[in-house]
Structure 1
Amino acid sequence: MNRLSTHEQVRFSTAGDIGDLELLSARFIEHRFAPHVHDGYVIAVLEAGAERYRYRGEEHLANAGSIALINPDEVHTGAKGCDQGWRYRVFYPHTRQIQVLLEELELPGTGLPMFRGSVHRDADLVASLGELHRLLENDQATLLQRQTHWREAMLQLLLRHARLPQPSRAGCEPRAVARAKELLASRLPEPPSLEEMALAVNLSPFHFARVFRRATGLPPHAWLKLRRLEQARALLKSGCTPLAVAIQLGFADQSHLNRQFKQAYGVAPGAYRRACLGA
């Protein structure tokens, strides 16, 4: 995972379902960023190598496995911190996107959060942010999964490194959870967004996601995945082909079904079907 390529690579994209969140995946060797600012936050996950940058009058060195955080409207630079350069994934959320999250958590009066320090080694958060970045670049991730993971990862980041007040504990909303389960089960091929489900149960998206996880032990997208796999197993037993099952249940393609099914049950869908049918 820490192997560095020998040439520079840059991929810039936006996540339209996360308010056009800007994303960067890059491998830099000799590139040097001139002093500049962003009107939103910079959240960088260092995957390999090291980056050196000047920020708030100090030199910082971010090595692989660390997070580099920069607040809005702060001048900073960027250059290699070792001979091999660096590879990282970066989120550029604008301030309104963060304010929306605080409003969903019913923390609208806390003001705009500011990160403390700049470079942090926080292994589980590095892993969570890296996974989130890949999900936002991955067409196979469901809208529900992307929206839920975005909120959960940002909450942890802000709690740990921006002195965000701890939100109140998610309450018990059995009717809301039951209604959400019904909605998800009825729409396995094309699941609703987090916002749509929250609206259906009259809760904010963030509050709904926390209530659902407290009640089931799973985020909504993970509960959906289990229901899809249960239904896939039933369809395969009845004789449906893996391709037909993948199409019927909304998997991105047959290989997507194969990966998830084998991960869950230890056997490929085709082999499971043949065994059940005695073929």
Structure 2
Amino acid sequence: MTQIATESARYHHVKSLNNLELLDARFRRQTFGKHVHEGFCIGVIENGAQAFYRSGEVHIAGTNRIILVNADQVHTGHSASDQGWSYRAIYPTPEHFESITNEYGLNTGTPYFDASVVQDPMMANQLRHLFNVMASEDSSTLEIQTCYLQVISNLIQRHNRSRALPLTTGTEHWAIETVKEFLAANVDQNVSLDQLSQLVNLNPHYLVRAFQKATGMPPHAYHVQIRLQQAKALLSHGMKLSDVALDTGFTDQSHLTRHFKKAVGVTPGVFQRQIQAH
């Protein structure tokens, strides 16, 4: 087992999620006394093992385990091994669950997790992906908000005390077409999920599921494809690569290149040279 060499805690507030708190921490000697958080603690142990008190007993969470602490629930925390432990976690308040739980009809308005430690490799990987998206400077507001809703929705479905299911989506043809037109008209804008949901008067989580059902991809992925189509057109007309990236809503040229090569198979520069050679 890898020893946790240094002790550190790095906090990040995700502005596009109402300042949701994200923590990336590594501890060996740190001991947390009994305390509570305003929000939930949802984390994944990356290395080592953590011991913590919750719900009247001490729990051990090893590598790849998910730790769950409900809002305002008394808990502690310390290392469960000589190597220490490292983990990433988010601390959503009940308000951060609102658009999801409205669809589930939960009586309390917020979920409740009975289990303190969960062994669920698929869910752990989804949470890791969410943490990466939240921490990346390349992630758009729409991508962060969509990913958060999808991952937390899955967590609720799999591990909430009441295994309620979200509302079944309909066709919503007008709403889907309206969102598609809006995304196409705002290629260079950092569109938010709130904008889209207000545009068509649908719950954000419901809209994401309905859109994916109709198109095969969530709104942020569809927006990227529209941006790439526009980028190809601009590249074909000889526009400078850095200007193409800016005009199509990518953070910089390297951001455009990563998405372009993944979708087209070649870099934007190679594509432009090949098109101009004919």
Q: CA deviation at 1:168?
A: 1.9
Match of 2:128 in 1: 130
Q: CA deviation at 1:5?
A: 5.2
Q: Counterpart amino acid of 2:266?
A: V
Q: Does the C-alpha gap of structure 1 residues 110 and 78 become closer, same or farther in structure 2, counting only changes over 3 Å?
A: closer
Match of 2:66 in 1: 67
In 2, Cα distance between equivalents of 1:202 and 1:132: 26
Q: CA deviation at 1:216?
A: 0.6
In 2, Cα distance between equivalents of 1:73 and 1:127: 26
Indicate which of 152, 156, 159 corresponds to 1:158: 156
Report Cα offsets for 1:215-253 as digits up to 9, x if no partner: 011100011111111221222222122212101101101
Q: CA deviation at 1:110?
A: 5.0
Does the 8 Å CA contact 2:101/2:111 hold for their aligned counterparts? no
Q: CA deviation at 1:30?
A: 1.3
SS of alignment partner, residue 192 of structure 1: coil
In 2, Cα distance between equivalents of 1:82 and 1:193: 43
SS of alignment partner, residue 51 of structure 1: strand
Report Cα offsets for 1:186-218 as digits up to 9, x if no partner: 001104211111111121211111110110111
SS of alignment partner, residue 180 of structure 1: helix
Does the 8 Å CA contact 1:4/1:87 hold for their aligned counterparts? no
Q: Does the C-alpha gap of structure 1 residues 172 and 236 become closer, same or farther in structure 2, counting only changes over 3 Å?
A: same
Matches within 5 A, 1:131-210: 131-162=129-160, 163-210=162-209
Match of 1:97 in 2: 96
Count of matched residue pairs = 277
Match of 2:222 in 1: 223
Q: CA deviation at 1:158?
A: 0.8
Report Cα offsets for 1:40-83 as digits up to 9, x if no partner: 21101112222111222222111221110011222211111222
In 1, Cα distance between equivalents of 2:17 and 2:247: 27
Output the aligned Cα RMSD. Answer: 1.8
- Ranges in structure 2 where 5+ consecutive residues have no aligned partner: none
Q: CA deviation at 1:120?
A: 1.0
Q: Counterpart amino acid of 1:145?
A: E
Does the 8 Å CA contact 1:184/1:191 hold for their aligned counterparts? no
Match of 1:236 in 2: 235
Q: CA deviation at 1:146?
A: 0.8
Q: CA deviation at 1:137?
A: 2.1
Does the 8 Å CA contact 2:4/2:28 hold for their aligned counterparts? no
Q: Counterpart amino acid of 1:171?
A: G
Match of 2:75 in 1: 76
Report Cα offsets for 1:77-119 as digits up to 9, x if no partner: 111122221111111111232244312x162535432102111
Q: CA deviation at 1:151?
A: 0.9
TM-score (norm 1): 0.93
Q: CA deviation at 1:156?
A: 0.6
**Once the two structures are aligned, what percentage of the paired residues are identical?**
37
Report Cα offsets for 1:149-200 as digits up to 9, x if no partner: 1111111111111124101211110111001000000001104211111111
In 2, Cα distance between equivalents of 1:157 and 1:242: 40
In 1, Cα distance between equivalents of 2:68 and 2:10: 20
In 1, Cα distance between equivalents of 2:172 and 2:109: 29
Runs of 4+ in 1 over 3 A off after TM superposition: 2-5, 108-112
Matches within 5 A, 1:254-269: 254-269=253-268
Does the 8 Å CA contact 1:113/1:164 hold for their aligned counterparts? no
SS of alignment partner, residue 109 of structure 1: coil
